[in-house]
Structure 1
Amino acid sequence: MAQILVENLDPVILEKLENLAKQHGRSLQEELKHILQQAAEKVTHYHIGGDMEKAREALARAQVRYAGKTFSDSTELIREDRER
């Protein structure tokens, strides 16, 4: 397994990470591994399209929420703002 050395880490950040590790009952190293794994998974989901089912559910909720509503055309407002 690879090892990573992080130099010049702000002591405040280190303290926050240590507190987070304590809250989760993990060592600092375990907590950092967990954080990195979560970040890598989020980036991977984002770049490959994420969870399409969740996206479809969010779209369906928005369609229900805004069904039958009309919205004004913001073109004039944008023009006015640009002319300022």
Structure 2
Amino acid sequence: MAKVLVEDLDPIILEKLETLAKQHGRSLQEELKYILQQASEKATHYHTGADIEKTREAVARAQARYAGKTFSDSTELIREDRER
């Protein structure tokens, strides 16, 4: 397995990471592995569009919820707010 060296880490960040590790009952190394795993999974989902189906479903629900409703033009409200 690969090793990673992080140089010049702010001592405050290190202290916060150690606190998180203790709160989660993990060693510092285990906590860092967990954080890196979570971050890489989120980044992978974002870039690969893994959640595109969920997004489409949410858009369809919003469209159904607001179908047939009329909304006022907010231009006048914005103008009034700027004049305050």
1:28-65 deviation per Cα after TM superposition (whole angstroms, max 9, x unaligned)? 00000000011111111111112233213321332244
The equivalent of 1:42 in structure 2 is 42
Moved more, 40-49 or 56-65: 56-65
User: Alignment length, in residue pairs?
Assistant: 77
Q: Unmatched 5+ residue regions in structure 2? A: 80-84
TM-score by structure 2 length?
Answer: 0.74
Q: Unmatched 5+ residue regions in structure 1? A: none
The equivalent of 2:31 in structure 1 is 31
TM-score by structure 1 length?
Answer: 0.74
4+ long deviations beyond 4 Å: none
Q: Secondary structure at the match of 2:69?
A: coil
Residue 22, structure 1, aligned to residue 22, structure 2? yes
Q: Please report how far the alpha carbon of residue 70 of structure 1 lies from its aligned counterpart in structure 2 after TM superposition.
A: 2.5
